[in-house]
Amino acid sequence: MSVPEQLPLALKLRAGSSLEFFVPDGNELLLAALNGLGNGDSEQLFIWGEQGSGRSHLLEAKVRQAGAAGFYLPASQLDGLSPAVLEGLEQFDLVAVDDIDSLAGRPDWEAALFHLYNRVRDAGKSALFSASAPPAHCGFALPDLISRLAAGPVWRVVSLSEDGLMALMRQLGRASGLEVGDDVSRYLISRGTRSAAAVVGLMEQLDRHAMARQRRLTVPFVRSLYPGC
């Protein structure tokens, strides 16, 4: 399978995007539904949640799981391209369209998404969509597209609790060889690190700083890196 020629070749998955690094914390049933996608349980899934809740991570992780048979398309990065880029994507076993609501209110794109949905369904393949709201509240003007997107299971991604965020920090730290104590994670959370996306970004920074300085993660060390934190 090959990427359609019209699409830029820079659409790559992030290194840490795997289901292993997604802390369930209230999303256990969603993960079960995601694991069942393409395995006979469902051929379509729509997930939604607030910015930073982990929607993109889940889509990328599912596509990574599918390997060469999966295709990840970040709709928010399609500005300047023609809806024709969606043609031929039904060749993949799994098509994942992230931030699909960023194309709402654009008739040509809405029509192209509707036809893509039909082609994927008719080919017996699987589709995975994400947005910041359920299908009926995404701002789409095409009723048939709304009904298609809502035809399968629709799940909300529940944002991580404080315990979930701490668990994610520990998990990411272990993967990088860093020990993240509860004192450090509570310190970071108390100062505004309150989304999964923020935790991932911050842990990547801390990993680089710790490696460069050969330091353990402690509250004084973190405070020295981010004086205003």
Evaluated on CA atoms 199, 203, 206, 210, the torsion sign reads positive
Please give the residue that has the higher pLDDT: either 228 or 149: 149
The topology under which CATH files domain 19-156 is Rossmann fold (3.40.50)
- Residue 126 confidence class, pLDDT cut points 50, 70, 90: very high
Give the residue-averaged pLDDT of 32-47.
Answer: 85
Rounded Cα gap, residues 102 and 78, in angstroms: 9
Q: CB atoms < 10 A from the CB of 64, how many?
A: 16
* Average pLDDT taken over every residue of the chain: 87
* pLDDT tens-place string over residues 92-116: 999 999 999 999 999 999 999 999 9
pLDDT at 194: 80
Using only C-alpha atoms, what is the Rg of the chain?
A: 19
pLDDT at 11: 52
Question: Checking phi first, is residue 99 left (phi over 0); if not, alpha (psi -120 to 50) or beta?
Answer: left
Q: 89, 120 in Cβ contact below 8 A?
A: yes
pLDDT at 98: 96
* pLDDT tens-place string over residues 60-81: 999 998 988 999 999 999 988 9
Query: Closest by alpha carbon to 217, among 184, 192, 169, 186?
Result: 184
pLDDT at 10: 44
Residue 201 has pLDDT above 90, yes or no: no
Q: 98, 14 in Cβ contact below 8 A?
A: no
Share of the chain above pLDDT 70, in %: 90
Q: Where do the domains of the chain lie?
A: 19-156, 162-225
Residue 223 has pLDDT above 70, yes or no: yes
* pLDDT tens-place string over residues 138-168: 999 999 999 999 999 999 999 888 998 898 8
